[in-house]
A and B are shown apart, each in its own frame.
Chain A
């Protein structure tokens, strides 16, 4: 079981918006450590989507946004497109473990 908890799956219709949560604790997100998000299309390597809670790397559409509050973080995707169908992972640092950690991943299905 991952230290960062994500819903196993979410879904939405094209054009709609969805949100993926990443729930942590006082030893990671709640201690102020940044959260990063990755998109993994089937059969490919993860791609950085959001870094330091709410920053998009060059080339990432502004349909993707991130936020953090307390011991949780969220990834929001607006205007769903078929190409968004993928697995999404959050990542942060855990002071109790002393290293970086990933959430268990969320599979996004575009209906």
Chain B
């Protein structure tokens, strides 16, 4: 079955750029699914960040759009997140997730990575 695995630095300095990668195994990133990043600050709820389709279409949370870039690498079967100008408020567990379909309004997230904690601190 499809599995997702996040990777990237666990510590980022304030004003720096957070970079994470989600490796897809057991399936193709070129399937008919959108691929997303979702984050969860410690002790708080879930926040959707961005999503990408393998053909390159993207969508971003309007509150983060100016700082976020999502990209896909079909050759490596993975997708990535970059979040610039980070502050302590960006400290969170970052999850990558797959939408079970490709509807314009989005679908449920049926597969999640285990998550990776990113701390913003000097």
Residues of A within 8 A of B (CB): 2, 33-34, 36, 38, 44-48, 51-52, 57, 89, 91, 93, 97-105
Contact = CB atoms under 8 A, between A and B. Distances in A.
Given A38-B109, A48-B109, A52-B108, A100 B48 contact: yes
A25 B91 CA distance: 30
B106 A45 contact: no
B95 A45 contact: yes
Interface in B61-81: 61-62
Q: How large is the interface on B (under 10, 10 to 19, 20 to 34, 35 or more residues)?
A: 20 to 34
Given A45-B114, A99-B60, A99-B61, A2 B108 contact: no
A91 to B, nearest CB: 7
A102 B108 contact: no
Contacts of A100: 48, 105-106
A45 B113 contact: yes
Given A38-B109, A46-B112, A97 B62 contact: yes
B60 A47 contact: no
A102 B47 contact: yes
Given A38-B109, A89-B45, A98 B62 contact: yes
Contacts of B60: 99
Given A33-B105, A97-B62, A99-B106, A47 B45 contact: no
